[in-house]
Amino acid sequence: MSATTATVHNFNAGPSILPKTVFEQASAAVLNFNNSGLSILEFGHRTPEFTAVMEEARSLVKELMALDDAHEVLFLHGGASTQFMQVPMNLLDAKDSAAYTDTDIWGYKAIKEAKFFGKVDVVCSSREKNYSFIPKDFAVPNDAKYLHITTNNTIYGTQWQKIPHCSNNLVADMSSDIFSRQMDFNKFDLIYAGAQKNMGPAGVNLVIVNKNILGKIKRPIPTMMDYRNHINEGSMLNTPPVFAVYVCLLTLRWLKSMGGVAAVEKGNNEKAALLYKAIDESEYFIGTAAKEDRSKMNVCFIMKDASREAGFLQLAKSAGIVGIKGHRTTGGFRASIYNAMPISSVQVLVDAMREFEKDNRP
């Protein structure tokens, strides 16, 4: 198999692929933002020009997710990992308990941080089986202040295909599948997502919060950690990551131009179906996640003969395929097929898998 040096198929898990038009527009703005003669990197965050960027980005999030007036949209520093502590800091008193699902490393880390602020009830876990499935039968205590889930497992390739129903407040880490599929986002009381998968570059975190759940705890909250302060200041309590927010805006515009979440979901389903079909039909490759829980964003698989992995990686490299080596904790392969990944790139990967099988038959 051969590939031109100009063709690269980026399957990295994050920071990840973004639409080509977004890169082009962002690079132009670094040199000259909106014909101002200034770079976007040197614009003051309280100037009318950047205020318009922030307001449009927040507005597009509300539009694309069909959010109601109770839900506020924030762009914050710190990435999703900061939310592991900021969520319980705002929602959990020391005497209270929260319910957490342990379905991946990120959920496990969120549990660890929440324990600093209150009691944590781990209502289900797939840790003992290397996070290869999503638990189905579990109960959420009625007195839990909220239920926390991680909707997509970047490292192990599982995804909540059905969001659990409960009477508690619902909190979700959607870092790796935000804007990838349709659902009723208003049933979530708090959503957070690092931008660097489906939305923009590393350096900014999207938080969507139902303002009616805030202000219920007795513990003092540091100024910068209180969601209410960020709401009151329109995500500009302090200097926001200006460039990262701008690239998010460009990506949100692209998403709307593509037909919104519904249109992108259709493409994501087609890409996932193509790749999983190739894995299931293969004599050499095996999927690692339970079939009913397979992620549409991160496809994880291994080889029956692990000694052949290096050879396949070399073939993939020659085809212009990058970023498919599995996470260090799992090995094997991981193909991240986020919103901006064209199905043509997935086809290149499938062709490489089939070529490798053909060339290595006894």
Residue 140: φ, ψ to 5°: -105, 120
Residue 297 pLDDT class (50, 70, 90 cuts): very high
pLDDT at 5 over 80: no
Catalytic residues: 106, 173, 197
pLDDT at 2 over 50: no
pLDDT value, residue 328: 85
pLDDT value, residue 6: 60
Are 22-257 and 260-359 in the same CATH fold? no
User: What does pTM read for this prediction?
Assistant: 0.96
Mean pLDDT of the region 30-57 = 96
User: Within a 10 A sphere around the Cβ of 311, how many other Cβ atoms?
Assistant: 14
pLDDT at 204 over 70: yes
Residue 254 Rama label (left phi>0; alpha psi -120 to 50; beta)? alpha
Q: Both tokens of residue 4?
A: 């031109």
pLDDT at 4 over 60: no
Cα separation, 190 vs 183, in Å, equals 14
Cα separation, 249 vs 252, in Å, equals 5
pLDDT at 322 over 70: yes
pLDDT value, residue 157: 97
Q: Where in the chain are the domains?
A: 22-257, 260-359
Q: Which residues contact 191 (CB under 8 A, 6 or more apart)?
A: 171, 172, 174, 178, 185, 206, 207, 208, 209
CATH number (2.60.120.260, 3.40.640.10, 3.20.20.140, 3.20.20.70) of 22-257 reads 3.40.640.10
pLDDT at 303 over 60: yes
The model's pLDDT over 235-282, given as tens digits with 9 standing for 90+, comes to 999 999 999 999 999 999 999 999 999 999 999 999 999 999 999 999
Helix, strand, coil shares of the chain, percent, nearest 5, are 40, 15, 40
Q: Which residues contact 146 (CB under 8 A, 6 or more apart)?
A: 87, 91, 92, 98, 99, 168, 169, 170, 171, 189, 190, 213
pLDDT value, residue 3: 44
Architecture of the domain made up of 260-359: Alpha-Beta Complex (3.90)
Cα separation, 112 vs 121, in Å, equals 11
Cα separation, 288 vs 12, in Å, equals 18
